[in-house]
Structure 1
């Protein structure tokens, strides 16, 4: 029979290892990596606990409440047949699904009737199935393998409950970070994109013009700017309504995007005014690009109220290095555009 001092010493060592393990899991929680990667690391930490009577294999499932099933997100040393059969497990199916449904730790000392997934060559074993809970909501399940016949140990159950609490923190934290990243990405798109056409808005275009100008200055490369303004757009709105006007704007944006090269920058910079920045293109190339766009627009009527409405635009072209700065380039292209308007519309003028 062990001496009381030996028991106390073993308890102390166990408590110290438990604390180190929980601290290691907390350090994983704050790392900026995909959730499945974090769960793999958590599983490795858990399987390394020396006093737990678990076999060196297991898995962590994440719950998909909408589909009513568990998804295997992390695993170690599981046989290939099991990986296929347990990739997704319905709630209430097998031990892990039952633990998810019950929200309580389930123990099995052997392969009993609750083991609904079986495969050739499966070795005798037992299980701990530990739900990961956020209040009443189950976020996932930890599945650990036990030697056959191993009883439920209250110390192991208490420790695994503490581990599950930290894994709930890992999952909540990572999902919060991912949601914030998604919202930030959407806000970034909204801040730079015209919602009607999907093109860059004026603010984003001006920023990219400044970048392209700086690169053209540094490398001595040409840079062309095309501005276009739809002719008599107000008449379209007044005659057919604003919904028809929106369709004309979207039609123009599609043509502009189709004509743009991979590194060109198309944008909607005003009500019916668009821009196309052409890095590496000089004045003559800018004029040719504008003329192609003008012909495209004139030659593809917009279907409005079952009628093909002809739309045209006036174009102005300016190029680096004929201007002193990006603002002057915009002004020169704008003056050329209004020269095209004065000359009768549906034409291209260059500064």
Structure 2
């Protein structure tokens, strides 16, 4: 993953060289400034060339006129046509001369020369800059005698075209433009190139260094920034950068330490919370056990029995499954306590609990109701089965003995049994004498009270009939109609 990131950073840096954004902006700005300066230089040079050429044009025209007039005096007096033609031809050597005519006093044209207009085609610039084609008609005087001006002997008609100077001005401006352009571009590239090697390249090297250095990796020392030979701003930037990276590494290391401390603290806190949770769950379980069991014998208490009995009767109402209840009461337990002491009585209670655990099934529930009274909840057991279980319990209890010091103590118990029969057995019962007792038992709580009352009555009968025996009370089937 790190190698992929390095390759991506390197590719990004390659895009910056040499056409980095700074380099490109320098080049664009340099070319723009050079172009503006070039335009100003060309404009200045063009104006200077124009003024110089215009002055040259006007002075040349004046010189040609003066030369022709000076030579033509004698020629017109002597009417020398050959000389006149020679003068006219010589005037045409000036490329700005369009035409020359020498005329005597009689109006005869002695000599005339005319340049083809296609050779010097006029342009709009000749009108704007040099006033276009200029024609002059000047008198020619005879040679002066003393201080007296000679008479007029003829006329000079001459016209000038500035087109040749326009072409010359164009050539000069063109040459200036090309020269200035080459110079400006060369200077721009030179300046930008120097700036690139002085500023841009060192900055790119610093950027490359900054991208490749991982300040968070404390396993490696921080490398020095690229060497820079000059003690300038870039050198200061490199020094500041290494200091900044060192500061970042210090902060990252500190953050890592704080993170580890937080993780350790969280782990300790989680361990402590988990320990406290286990202790709390253990305490809750202990409290639940204490709330659900008898502290002396370790079996269920009255509260647990009533909860299980309520659930069993609710299932019986929906499905018609049998429910049986046996109440067990130790015979003459008060006498036993008074004779041997409460400690021996507690030992007897623990011993009878062991008998319950040996005889009863895992699905049956035995609970201590208080004192010497116990109750057994039988699941899906009819009257015969409940009576068999009760008789087995009675027999085992009567055979059980408790050894204390040199004494052997035996004890007995009386058992009262009551059952809620299955729906198939509703119409088999005949307990008409109990119908009045159970007639109002419609809700689960009422059925519990009624069932317990039946078992308690059966226990009372067992006590009345001599103890150490089992008695069964069967409810009337008519009572069960309408309890759903």
TM-score, structure 1 normalization: 0.56
| Count of aligned residue pairs for this structure pair | 213
Aligned equivalent of 1:329: 451
Following superposition, the deviation at residue 184 of structure 1 comes to 0.6
Q: Which structure has the bigger radius of gyration?
A: 2
Secondary structure (helix, strand or coil) at the match of 2:329 reads strand
| CA separation of 1:291 and 1:159: change in aligned 2, threshold 3 A | same
Following superposition, the deviation at residue 326 of structure 1 comes to 1.5
| CA separation of 1:156 and 1:343: change in aligned 2, threshold 3 A | same
How big is each residue's C-alpha offset from its partner over 1:6-57, in whole Å with a ceiling of 9 and x where there is no partner? 69x988xx8xxxxxxxxxxxxxxxxxxxxxxxxxxxxxxxxxxxx797xxxx
**One of 388, 396, 400 as aligned partner of 1:288:** 388
Matches within 5 A, 1:195-344: 195-321=295-421, 324=441, 325-344=447-466
Whole-Å Cα distance in 2 between the matches of residues 226 and 52 of structure 1? 79
Whole-Å Cα distance in 2 between the matches of residues 5 and 162 of structure 1? 33
Whole-Å Cα distance in 1 between the matches of residues 208 and 259 of structure 2? 22
Aligned equivalent of 2:144: none
Matches within 5 A, 1:1-351: 156-321=256-421, 324=441, 325-351=447-473
How big is each residue's C-alpha offset from its partner over 1:99-158, in whole Å with a ceiling of 9 and x where there is no partner? xxxxxxxxxxxxxxxxxxxxxxxxxxxxxxxxxxxxxxxxxxxxxxxxxxxxxx655434
Following superposition, the deviation at residue 2 of structure 1 comes to 6.7
Whole-Å Cα distance in 2 between the matches of residues 202 and 254 of structure 1? 18
Asked if the contact 1:313/1:345 (under 8 Å) is kept, the reply is yes
Whole-Å Cα distance in 2 between the matches of residues 52 and 201 of structure 1? 67
| CA separation of 1:2 and 1:156: change in aligned 2, threshold 3 A | farther
| CA separation of 1:335 and 1:156: change in aligned 2, threshold 3 A | same
How big is each residue's C-alpha offset from its partner over 1:217-258, in whole Å with a ceiling of 9 and x where there is no partner? 221111111101000001111111100000000011111121
Whole-Å Cα distance in 1 between the matches of residues 412 and 207 of structure 2? 97
| CA separation of 1:5 and 1:235: change in aligned 2, threshold 3 A | farther
Query: Unpaired runs of 5+ in structure 2?
Result: 1-204, 220-252, 422-428, 430-437, 442-446, 474-484
Higher percent of residues as helix: 2
| CA separation of 1:238 and 1:331: change in aligned 2, threshold 3 A | same
Following superposition, the deviation at residue 162 of structure 1 comes to 2.3
Asked if the contact 1:52/1:156 (under 8 Å) is kept, the reply is no
Whole-Å Cα distance in 1 between the matches of residues 293 and 322 of structure 2? 26
Whole-Å Cα distance in 1 between the matches of residues 375 and 466 of structure 2? 20
| CA separation of 1:2 and 1:175: change in aligned 2, threshold 3 A | farther
| CA separation of 1:2 and 1:217: change in aligned 2, threshold 3 A | farther
Whole-Å Cα distance in 2 between the matches of residues 331 and 195 of structure 1? 26
| CA separation of 1:174 and 1:221: change in aligned 2, threshold 3 A | same
Whole-Å Cα distance in 1 between the matches of residues 466 and 401 of structure 2? 20
Following superposition, the deviation at residue 209 of structure 1 comes to 0.7
RMSD: 2.6
Whole-Å Cα distance in 2 between the matches of residues 260 and 312 of structure 1? 18
Asked if the contact 1:193/1:201 (under 8 Å) is kept, the reply is yes
Query: Unpaired runs of 5+ in structure 1?
Result: 15-50, 54-152
Aligned equivalent of 1:45: none
